[in-house]
A and B are shown apart, each in its own frame.
Chain A
Amino acid sequence: MIGKTPSRYAVALLLLFATACSHSPEPQGGPSQLSAVRTRHVTFVQWTDPHVFDAGKGRTGEGVREEELDNWAAFHWAVLQTNRLVLTEHRDIDFVVITGDFGLENVLLSNETKRTSCPGDKPSQEGPIPTVPIAAAADEVARELDALLVKRVYLVPGNNDLACESPKDLPRWTQFVTALQQDLADRDQNRNKAANMPKKPNTATAVEVVDLTSIADAPVINGISLLGLDSAYFKDHEIDRNKKKPATVNSAGKLAITKDIDPASKLIQNDADAAIPKEIERISKQIQPGGSYLVFTHVPDLNDPIGRSPAWKLSDKESRNWKNNVLDESAVLGVFAGHFHIAKRDMYPQNFPDKDKIADANTAVKVWLAPPLAEKYQWRSPPEETARGMLLVSVNADGQTRVSAIDGDVKASAMWFSTSDQNTAAVSVGDDKIAQAREAERDRNWSDAATQYQAVLSQDKADPRTRATALSGYLHARGEMRSWWWKSTAARWIYLNGMSLLVTVGIVVGAIVVCAMLRWFYVVKGASIFLKFVFVPGFEGRATINDTAAMTDSAPVKLFASMLRAEGQEIRSLLQREQEHWAAGHITLLAPANTSLDSLVASVPKVGSGPADLSVWTKFLVNLLQVLRWTVQTGLAVFPPNQLPPPTAPPAGANAPVIVTGAELNAYAVLQWAWVTKRSWWRMRTVGNDLSALRDLARELAALICGEAFV
Chain B
Amino acid sequence: MRLLPRRNPRKFTKAESFCLFIEGVRALQLYDKEAYNPQPDKLVLDTNLDEAEAKFRKCVEEYPKDILPLYYYGIVLTLRGQVGEALQLQHELEANRPGARLASGGDEHDRLFLKAAAVFEKVSQQTGGDLLAYAEYNQALALARTAPIRSHGTVR
Contact = CB atoms under 8 A, between A and B. Distances in A.
A708 interface: yes
Interface string A453-478: 00000000000000000000000000
Contacts of B11: 710-711
Interface string A670-711: 000000000101000000000000000000100111111011
Interface string A566-583: 000001001101101011
A574 B19 contact: no
Contacts of B25: 574-575, 578
Contacts of A580: 10
A338 B149 CA distance: 125
A704 to B, nearest CB: 5
Nearest to B23: A703
Contact of A679 (B15, B17, B19, B26): B15
Nearest to A704: B15
B22 interface: yes
Given A574-B29, A577-B29, A703 B14 contact: no
A582 B10 contact: yes
Contacts of A708: 15
B13 to A, nearest CB: 7
Contacts of A681: 15
Nearest to B17: A707
Interface residues of B, number: 15
Interface string A547-590: 00000000000000000000000010011011010110000000
Interface string B1-36: 000000000111111111100110110010000000
Given A574-B22, A580-B10, A582-B10, A711 B29 contact: no
Contacts of B19: 700, 703-704, 707
A711 B10 contact: no
Contacts of A574: 22, 25-26, 29
A703 B12 CA distance: 12
Nearest to B14: A711
Contacts of A679: 15
Contacts of A704: 15-16, 18-19
Contacts of B12: 707, 710-711
A571 B22 contact: yes
B22 A705 contact: no
Nearest to B26: A574
A543 to B, nearest CB: 13
Contact of B18 (A577, A582, A707): A707
Interface in A31-86: none
Contacts of B15: 679, 681, 703-708, 710-711
Interface in B32-73: none
Contacts of A700: 19
A580 B22 CA distance: 12
A404 to B, nearest CB: 84
A625 B51 CA distance: 44
Interface in A400-458: none
B18 A703 contact: yes
A706 B29 contact: no
Contacts of B16: 704, 707
B83 to A, nearest CB: 20
Given A580-B10, A710-B12, A711-B15, A703 B29 contact: no
B60 to A, nearest CB: 16
Most buried by B among A582, A706, A707: A707
A501 to B, nearest CB: 51
Nearest to A578: B25
B49 to A, nearest CB: 16
B3 to A, nearest CB: 24
A563 to B, nearest CB: 15
B155 to A, nearest CB: 24
Interface in A632-691: 679, 681
Contacts of A706: 15, 18, 22
A679 B18 CA distance: 14
B85 to A, nearest CB: 24
A711 B29 CA distance: 24
A598 to B, nearest CB: 29
A339 to B, nearest CB: 94
B100 to A, nearest CB: 37
B117 to A, nearest CB: 21
A710 B17 CA distance: 10
A634 to B, nearest CB: 15
A571 B23 CA distance: 9
B18 A710 contact: yes
B68 to A, nearest CB: 8
A710 B22 contact: no
Nearest to A570: B26
Contacts of A571: 22
Interface string A263-306: 00000000000000000000000000000000000000000000
A580 B18 CA distance: 13
Contacts of A583: 10
A679 to B, nearest CB: 7
Nearest to B68: A580
Contacts of B13: 711
The CB with the most chain A CB atoms within 10 A, among B12, B13, B19, B22, is that of B22
Contacts of A710: 10-12, 15, 18
Interface in A222-266: none
Contacts of A705: 15
Contacts of A578: 25, 29
Contacts of A577: 29
A681 B18 CA distance: 14
A79 B16 CA distance: 79
A242 B81 CA distance: 148
A415 B41 CA distance: 115
A231 B18 CA distance: 103
Contacts of B23: 703
B132 to A, nearest CB: 16
Nearest to B11: A710
A571 B29 CA distance: 12
A511 to B, nearest CB: 37
Contacts of A707: 12, 14-19, 22
Interface of A: 571, 574-575, 577-578, 580, 582-583, 679, 681, 700, 703-708, 710-711
Given A574-B26, A706-B15, 18 more contacts: A574-B22, A575-B22, A575-B25, A578-B29, A583-B10, A679-B15, A681-B15, A703-B23, A704-B15, A704-B18, A706-B22, A707-B12, A707-B16, A710-B10, A710-B15, A711-B11, A711-B13, A711-B15
Counting from the closest, the 9 A-B pairs by CB-CB distance are A707-B18, A707-B15, A703-B19, A704-B15, A710-B12, A708-B15, A703-B22, A704-B19, A574-B25
23 contacts: A571-B22, A574-B22, A574-B25, A574-B26, A575-B22, A580-B10, A582-B10, A583-B10, A679-B15, A681-B15, A703-B15, A704-B15, A704-B18, A704-B19, A705-B15, A706-B15, A707-B14, A707-B17, A707-B22, A710-B10, A710-B15, A711-B12, A711-B15
